[in-house]
Amino acid sequence: MTTATETPKSPSPATGDELREQVRAAAGRARVAAVELALATRRHKDDALHAMADALRSRVAEVLAANEEDLATGRAAGLSDALLDRLALTEKRVAGVADGLLTVADLADPVSEVLRGGVLSNGLELRQVRVPLGVVGIVYEARPNVTVDAAGLALKSGNAVLLRGSSSAERSNEALVAVLRDALAASGLPRDTVQLLPCHDRASVRHLITARGLVDLVIPRGGAGLIAAVVEQATVPTIETGVGNCHVYVDAAADLDQALRIVLNSKTRRPSVCNAAETLLVHADVAEEFVPRVVGEFRTAGVTVHGDERVLALAGGAGVVPATEADWDTEYLSLDIAVGVVDSLDEAIGHIAAHGSGHTEAIVTSDVRAARQFTARVDAAAVVVNASTAFTDGGEFGMGAEIGISTQKLHARGPMGLAELTSSKWVVWGDGHIRAES
Amino acid sequence: MTTATETPKSPSPATGDELREQVRAAAGRARVAAVELALATRRHKDDALHAMADALRSRVAEVLAANEEDLATGRAAGLSDALLDRLALTEKRVAGVADGLLTVADLADPVSEVLRGGVLSNGLELRQVRVPLGVVGIVYEARPNVTVDAAGLALKSGNAVLLRGSSSAERSNEALVAVLRDALAASGLPRDTVQLLPCHDRASVRHLITARGLVDLVIPRGGAGLIAAVVEQATVPTIETGVGNCHVYVDAAADLDQALRIVLNSKTRRPSVCNAAETLLVHADVAEEFVPRVVGEFRTAGVTVHGDERVLALAGGAGVVPATEADWDTEYLSLDIAVGVVDSLDEAIGHIAAHGSGHTEAIVTSDVRAARQFTARVDAAAVVVNASTAFTDGGEFGMGAEIGISTQKLHARGPMGLAELTSSKWVVWGDGHIRAES
């Protein structure tokens, strides 16, 4: 109970059991919404996406005011400038996420797509069609734009979504979800297509990821710790996303000017994202020429090089420190890179197998055989020849906004868009067919 | 230690730690084999499948002798006739599983199939291709034919397989695996494509399903208890298979002769398998005519009817007992069926949503609208119009031998063949492409 003089901004914190019931009740409402969404036509869903985008633009003041509250709370709590920047919304950023909804509206409806089909020799008609998963939970950190992206992708793929955002973005997420829910209702679709879960207690994550039978999939988006905790403790299906210990291998037959551009772009374009390169491997045949050049460029760009012995010998000095064993396994997410020299393509592939996280691995080479060996033998969500690792991204791959990048092998691998938010079912039509004894 | 006078048929039981190391060492060898298998050509894999089939035929005496040992042990242990029949191999049954390998050889190679692809506006060439999962574990009960089916599907899909069979089939499985491994080696593929895990201790299952990083997927095949234990305790990815509480709904607009044939075939063809019907729902409009007819046929076929009140009123008597609440959730796997009367299509769909296991659900109707509503709204691996539930089977669906029937929504749903044993990767070719700031 709150005292009469207080006007709490949040409801009083729920007890453990109350919180569990809150999460399960939300999941129950999501299931009801999902039944309706599974049958919604493309036209209906696209109209709702347009209504959501329009509402975000027309109610931007409300969203920005809520965001300002989060920013004030964050500044008072001493959040770093980087975190505050991730949290901050502007009219332009809100317009950007609204545009994202329109992009999703333009994508084909994945639901009811026929994946395989035909008529069996006995005359049975068989089709495997895409269907929504049902209820999808997303556990994510600061950025409020994820709230809108996830809602849009879920709606278009016919799923209801349970959003468990960061407490630092609570007001922003509440404002965004209020806008989206009103637009859904105005379009004649269930408000409970999009729901925000309580975010002040880690326990709400636990209740979400153990709601077996109510929740069909939970996708964690955030740091490695969050992802590991969700995947290990969940009893509902989960998809591991986003840990990217990505490599660029510069082959003996590389065009070194091209290699330099690709390595720098892979490392420095946005060091904090999962598709940034964390290790550079250079073939010994070109190391003498390439290592000093690339280290010089890294120095200029403010990148600290963690070099092996040969790198230190070729290009020691300012901005270069000795690599430890741990460096080969580190996802820096910062202006750091591990650099090593290898004696062969095989050694590079072996190093990547031992240390890679299965996200994105690139080779720079002019040698067709080396490129084909690399793409065939490296086991990762994306293997790239003569291009930056930064392209592994749902938007770049033409999926519209992405809901995460899967680094696991089952169900989805790489950027996850609409298709990855679906399951399938077999639809069989007969005319009194019965099966003979075998 | 065994005494000098004993000649143990099995190695002495391993201690807990030894067993763990045995399982993990086998998984490590499987990983090495998987690297080679992923690159094997279709020709090479198909030649090996033919060699395996030939070897099973030429060494059938050895297999049957081993099987006779298992049967003798089983008879001494008092196994039921049904279980002994499941365990028994004959020359004909061995020839049948050998033929299964040839069927798999005839199927297209799933590996390297291009699933999606194109050229992005920036000129990047993008292809999503199928790749093997890597190491697949199968935990299964009595039938030794699963040993061969699983080995064949794994090989063709480029995976190494770890087989954890039943101790009651130990000698048979050992003999079959010895034959398969010799044929693999003679074909120039790794023996460790197929390995048998120790089967005397439940702990070997636990070590298999917790070998994170070594094992890419475990598929449990067997009773509901085995499946639930594996899925709940696993830390490696698993796929739930095979629990089938399947329904047949006879609509108001059904052709009742056709309905009778379909219901009887769905229930009685092979009551012990997961695609057998366990509940019959009859629309009230046709109940007066249909219920007495179908109950009469069930009586003749030796099927016990667990009827609701209206069924008891329409067709009580011998072979009909009152249904309890639990009956609607029971997978009998026997000559029993729950029978209820519903007042509408909606009620039937609601009943199936509440009690179905997501395996196979059938409607019998001549009404297009009812059929379309049923297929759109029922959420199951297979939804069937005017045909028996017995068709949900990898062989019937043209997949060759199946490795199980998934009743979950992620990765695979329904019969699992070669494609379902694969993952994918994105292969990206560029010419020095770097990504612009966004």
Weakly modelled stretches of chain B, pLDDT under 50: 1-10
| Of the candidates B322, B336, B357, B330, the residue with the CA atom closest to the CA atom of residue B271 | B336
Indicate the residue type of B326: A
B110 plus B21 within the same structural domain: yes
Q: Which of A261, A375, A435, A437 to mutate to test the interface with B (most CBs of B within 10 A)?
A: A435
Residues A120 and A199 in one domain: yes
CA distance A264 to A303: 10
Regarding whether A285 and A169 lie in a shared domain, the answer is: no
B417-421, Cβ contacts within 8 angstroms, sequence gap of 24 or more: B417/B107, B417/B153, B418/B104, B418/B107, B418/B110, B418/B153, B418/B156, B418/B157, B419/B110, B419/B130, B421/B110, B421/B132, B421/B133, B421/B136, B421/B153, B421/B154, B421/B157, B421/B159, B421/B217
**Residues A167, A81: Cα–Cα separation, whole Å:** 17
Partner B contacted by A217 (CB < 8 A)? yes
Closest residue to B413, CB basis, from A425, A428, A429: A425
* Cross-chain residue pair A134–B269, CB shorter than 8 Å: no
Does residue A11 have a pLDDT over 60? Answer: no
In this predicted structure, what is the pLDDT of residue A141? Answer: 86
Closest chain B CA to residue A437: B269
Beta strands in A304-421 (DSSP E): 304-307, 320-322, 336-342, 360-364, 382-387, 405-406, 414-415
On whether any CB of chain A is under 8 Å from the CB of B93, the answer is no
To the nearest whole percent, how much of chain A has pLDDT over 70? 97
> Smallest Cβ distance to A434: which of B261, B392, B435?
B261
Does residue A435 fall inside a structural domain?
no
Q: What's the average model confidence in pLDDT over A338-351?
A: 98
Residue B399 covered by a domain = no
> Whole-angstrom Cα distance, residue B128 to residue A31?
32
Is B201 within the bounds of a domain?
Answer: yes
Across the interface, whether the CB atoms of A411 and B408 are under 8 A apart is answered no
Cα B110 from Cα B412, distance rounded (Å): 15
| Backbone torsion region of residue A319, taken as left when φ is above 0, otherwise alpha when ψ lies between -120 and 50, otherwise beta | left
User: B387 and A133: CB-CB below 8 Å?
Assistant: no
Residues B299 and B331 in one domain: yes
Q: A210 CB near a chain B CB, below 8 Å?
A: no
Angle between helices A42-58 and A170-186 (to 10 degrees): 130
Domain harbouring B258, CATH code: 3.40.309.10
B313-324 burial, b at 16+ Cβ within 10 Å, e below that, comes to ebbeeebbeebe
Residues of B in contact with A32 (CB under 8 A): none
Residue B343 lies in a domain: yes
Domain-embedded: residue A420: yes
pTM over 0.90: yes
pLDDT of B3: 36
Q: Does B243 touch chain A (CB under 8 A)?
A: no
Smallest Cβ–Cβ distance between B427 and the set A262, A383, A398 belongs to: A383
A12 band by pLDDT with thresholds 50, 70 and 90 = low
Shared domain check, A258 and A232: no
On whether residue B119 sits in a domain, the answer given is: yes
In this complex, which of A232, A385, A411 lies closest to B410 when CB atoms are compared?
A: A411
The residue segments making up the domain with residue B353 are 246-391
Burial class (CB in 10 A: 0-12, 13-18, 19+), A9: exposed
Predicted confidence at residue B83, as pLDDT, reads 87
Separation of alpha carbons B75 and B87, rounded Å: 11
Q: Are residues A235 and A251 located together in one domain of the fold?
A: no
Query: Is the residue at B338 inside a domain?
Result: yes
Contact between B384 and B251 (Cβ < 8 Å): no
- C-alpha distances (whole Å) from A341 to each of A259, A278, A288, A303, A333 are 15, 15, 10, 18, 22
B219 plus B262 within the same structural domain: no
For residue A396, what is the nearest residue in chain B, using CA coordinates? B120
- Structure-block tokens of residue B128: 């999503």
How many domains, in total, are found in chain B?
2
Domain shared by A127 and A234, yes or no: yes
A172 close to A63: Cβ distance less than 8 angstroms: yes
What is the pLDDT, as a whole number, of residue B327? 98
Residue A184 sits in the same domain as residue A268: no
On whether residue B302 sits in a domain, the answer given is yes
Residues B136 and B167 reside in one and the same domain: yes
pLDDT class of A438 with cuts at 50, 70, 90: low
Nearest-CB residue to A258 (from B118, B235, B432):
B432
Give the residue carrying structure tokens 């209702």: A185
- Restricting to B residues 97-126, those with a Cβ less than 8 Å away from any Cβ of A are 118, 120, 124, 126
Same domain, B186 and B260: no
A44 and A93 housed in the same domain: yes
Question: What ipTM, to 2 d.p.?
Answer: 0.92
Chain B partners within 8 Å of A391 (Cβ): 124, 428, 430, 433, 435
Q: pLDDT band at residue A377, thresholds of 50, 70 and 90?
A: very high
Task: Chain B: give the shortest CA distance to residue A262, in Å.
Answer: 6
Domain containing A76 — which CATH number?
3.40.605.10
